[in-house]
């Protein structure tokens, strides 16, 4: 029993300590963002990496999610004659939920893993120390560009995912189930509000920032050679995915109620 | 030039530095010797301010850097160049971008000029025609040379060497030693090297200090160290497993390299 309580206590302490370190890193990142010189070139490189290079896999995911959503909703809603609202269901779920979350999960798996692995390798091969000796703040040089790119590129990619998902839904509803194209678009536009879109993008923004912060944190504080880099990478993906899924509920509760 | 006073540093329960004092004069080449895990790298990291001591002071040109704010510390670091054990080249950049890194960051210069300077520094360390290669294409000895070129590119006053010959074959190691001696003569820099390679220490040092149990236990010229009466130093420089120094099978210096 004492052992159990001891372990519980230890877990709580290490969790709190870790959360504290992440918050410290966040504050340092924000501070460094506003101190010149600005890392413009590095930021563009990261935007390309996180945004543009994630597009293909996000697009494939979005189009098929839109399609399967239309398929399931159509066949399900047909039972009570509501198949005309498929457009609405696809549009609302893509913009409010699936667009940001799926994009977030994919970027966490792709770019989050890459960030943790790169920073982790830099840590264990002393490249981060080398930056310090060359009078360059590693948080500013490495983390700020990734954080800004996460914040800005995730919403950008999410918009594309939203649109492509809705088009995927259209293809199935109109192309396969022969519903009228006019009905699909009318139902989409009639019930879709601007707030659905921008609240979804606020979520995406939060997810993007969290992925970058958590993954950079894991990479930046890597220890223990190649094995440590592996652990940091896995840890980054797991922690960012968990952050996305858990915060999604609370953000949705706050934004959409 | 460099003065460490009463330095204490612990990592968790492990006390690495226990009241260490060390003074290095301008233009001097000092080598700190000591066993693996004895905290040699930790000394270098205190000198350049990557680590802050738990207690004690670090003076660079009479300014205590342990009390400086980050921004002032980064200014002081521009006086330094450091060669890392595994060279620590940035593997996302090619050779000349590595060498010119500090110039790109801190001086308003045209890239083509920086490239010229990088090529010139590479030539100083004996490398020609490698400027467009990536670090992964270089051998261990070449990486060290590029690392050295990067360390001297911004014309620092102080050069720090972290185990400069570790992991190199004896001939390449000697070439690196020659280069270190040459750097001191040509650039008239102050240099601090840490090593457990006695050949290297004898070759590059004006004076050698021995680190043991978190303190400097002896300092002297290479000749004085060679003829020392101190049994601990004697055991270390002759490389014997028998003597007052306990062999710690489990200690791992890498643990202490992290900030």
What are the pLDDT digits (tens) for A144-177?
Answer: 999 999 999 999 999 999 999 999 999 999 999 8
Residue B91 with chain A: CB contacts under 8 Å: 121, 125, 127
Q: What dihedral do alpha carbons B39, B45, B47, B52 form, nearest 10°?
A: -100
Q: Is A62 or B12 the better-scoring residue by pLDDT?
A: A62
Check B50 against A126: CB less than 8 A apart: no
Check B48 against A132: CB less than 8 A apart: yes
Residue A38 with chain B: CB contacts under 8 Å: none
Please indicate, yes or no, if residue B14 is contained in any of the structural domains: no
Q: Mean of the pLDDT values across residues A194-223?
A: 94
Instruction: Provide the pLDDT for residue B247.
Output: 66
Structure tokens at B44: 């270098």
Q: Are B38 and B212 in contact (CB under 8 A)?
A: yes
Please indicate, yes or no, if residue B62 is contained in any of the structural domains: no
Instruction: Walk along chain B (259 residues) and give the pLDDT tens digit of each residue.
Output: 899 999 999 988 888 999 999 999 998 999 999 888 788 889 999 999 989 999 999 999 888 999 888 888 888 999 999 999 889 999 999 999 999 999 998 888 888 999 999 999 898 888 888 999 999 999 888 899 899 999 999 889 999 999 988 888 888 888 889 888 988 888 889 999 999 889 899 999 999 999 988 889 999 999 999 888 888 888 888 887 777 877 665 444 444 444 4
Instruction: Provide the pLDDT for residue B248.
Output: 61
Q: Flag whether pLDDT at A69 surpasses 50.
A: yes
Q: Characterize the bridge pairing of strands B63-64 and B55-60.
A: antiparallel
Residue among B84, B103, B150 with most chain A CBs within 10 A, to mutate: B84
Dihedral of alpha carbons A77, A167, A209, A55, sign: positive
Please indicate, yes or no, if residue B2 is contained in any of the structural domains: no
- The ipTM assigned to this model is 0.86
Structure tokens at A41: 């070139």
CA distance A152 to chain B (A): 24
Instruction: Provide the pLDDT for residue B258.
Output: 44
Check A135 against B106: CB less than 8 A apart: yes
Please indicate, yes or no, if residue B6 is contained in any of the structural domains: no
Check B70 against A137: CB less than 8 A apart: yes
Please indicate, yes or no, if residue B165 is contained in any of the structural domains: yes
Check B88 against A127: CB less than 8 A apart: yes
Q: Mean of the per-residue pLDDT values for chain A?
A: 92
Dihedral of alpha carbons A108, A111, A115, A116, sign: positive
- Gap between the Cα atoms of A209 and A153, Å rounded: 10
Closest alpha carbon to A33 in A151, A145, A149, A150: A145
Residue B51 touches chain A, beta carbons under 8 Å: no
Please indicate, yes or no, if residue B1 is contained in any of the structural domains: no
Please indicate, yes or no, if residue B19 is contained in any of the structural domains: no
- Report the CATH number at residue B220: 3.40.50.300
Percent of chain A predicted with pLDDT > 90: 78
CA angle A27, A29, A31 (to 5 degrees): 70
**For tokens 């799926």, what's the residue?**
A102
What are the pLDDT digits (tens) for A186-207?
Answer: 888 888 888 999 999 999 999 9
Given B78, B84, B154, which is nearest A130 (Cβ)? B84
Residue B108 touches chain A, beta carbons under 8 Å: no
Using DSSP, state whether B59 is helix, strand or coil: strand
Q: How many structural domains are present in chain B?
A: 1
A81, A171, A178, A190, A199 from A87: Cα distances, Å? 14, 11, 13, 10, 19
Please, which pLDDT band fits residue A56 given cuts at 50, 70 and 90? very high
Residues spanned by the domain of B132: 26-55+68-257
Q: What dihedral do alpha carbons B150, B36, A230, A52 form, nearest 10°?
A: -10
- Sheet of B158-162: strands edge to edge? B80-83, B158-162, B190-195, B29-33, B207-212, B215-220
Please indicate, yes or no, if residue B182 is contained in any of the structural domains: yes
Please, which pLDDT band fits residue A25 given cuts at 50, 70 and 90? very high
Q: Mean of the pLDDT values across residues A55-59?
A: 94
**For tokens 């004659």, what's the residue?**
A81
Q: Mean of the pLDDT values across residues A128-144?
A: 93
Structure tokens at A207: 């997810």
Q: Are B143 and B83 in contact (CB under 8 A)?
A: no
- Gap between the Cα atoms of B147 and B81, Å rounded: 10
């Amino acid at each position: 029993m004492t052992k159990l309580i001891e372990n519980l206590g230890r877990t709580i302490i290490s969790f709190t300590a870790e959360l504290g370190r992440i918050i410290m890193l966040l504050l340092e990142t924000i501070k460094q963002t506003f101190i010149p010189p600005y890392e413009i070139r590095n930021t563009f490189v990261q935007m390309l990496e996180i945004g543009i290079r994630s597009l293909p896999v996000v697009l494939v995911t979005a189009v098929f999610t839109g399609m399967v959503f239309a398929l399931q909703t159509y066949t399900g809603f047909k039972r009570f004659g509501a198949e005309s609202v498929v457009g609405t269901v696809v549009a609302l779920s893509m913009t409010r939920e699936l667009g940001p979350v799926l994009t977030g999960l994919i970027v966490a798996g792709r770019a989050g893993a890459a960030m943790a692995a790169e920073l982790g390798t830099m840590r264990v091969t002393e490249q981060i120390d080398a930056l310090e000796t060359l009078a360059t703040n590693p948080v500013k040089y490495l983390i700020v560009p990734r954080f800004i790119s996460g914040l800005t590129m995730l919403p950008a990619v999410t918009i594309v995912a939203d649109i492509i998902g809705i088009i995927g839904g259209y293809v199935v509803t109109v192309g396969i189930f022969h519903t009228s194209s006019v009905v699909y678009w009318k139902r989409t536009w009639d019930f879709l509000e601007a707030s659905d879109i921008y609240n979804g993008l606020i979520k995406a923004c939060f997810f993007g920032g969290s992925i970058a912060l958590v993954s950079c944190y894991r990479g930046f504080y890597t220890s223990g050679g190649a094995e440590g880099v592996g652990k940091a990478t896995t840890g980054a993906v797991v922690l960012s995915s968990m952050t996305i899924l858990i915060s999604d509920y609370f953000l949705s509760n706050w934004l959409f109620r | 030039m460099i003065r460490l006073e009463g330095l204490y540093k612990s990592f968790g329960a492990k006390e690495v530095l226990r009241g260490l004092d060390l003074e290095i004069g301008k233009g001097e080449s000092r080598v700190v010797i000591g066993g693996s895990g004895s905290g040699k790298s930790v000394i270098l990291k205190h000198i350049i301010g990557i680590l802050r001591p738990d207690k004690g002071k670090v003076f660079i040109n009479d300014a205590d850097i342990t009390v400086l704010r980050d921004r002032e510390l980064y200014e002081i670091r521009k006086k330094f160049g450091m060669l890392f054990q595994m060279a620590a080249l940035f593997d996302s950049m090619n050779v000349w971008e590595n060498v010119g890194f500090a110039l790109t960051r801190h001086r308003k210069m045209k890239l083509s000029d920086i490239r010229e300077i990088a090529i010139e520094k590479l030539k100083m360390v004996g490398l020609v025609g490698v400027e467009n290669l990536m670090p992964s294409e270089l051998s261990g000895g070449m990486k060290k040379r590029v690392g050295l070129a990067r360390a001297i590119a911004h014309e620092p006053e102080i050069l720090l060497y972290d185990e400069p010959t570790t992991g190199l074959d004896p001939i390449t190691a000697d070439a690196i030693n020659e280069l270190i001696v040459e750097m001191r003569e040509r650039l008239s820099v102050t240099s601090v090297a840490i090593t457990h390679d006695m050949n290297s220490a004898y070759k590059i040092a004006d004076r050698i200090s021995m680190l043991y149990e978190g303190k400097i236990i002896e300092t002297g010229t290479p000749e004085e160290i060679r003829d020392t009466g101190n049994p601990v130093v004697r055991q270390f420089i002759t490389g014997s497993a028998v003597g007052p120094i306990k062999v710690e099978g489990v200690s791992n210096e890498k643990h202490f390299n992290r900030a």
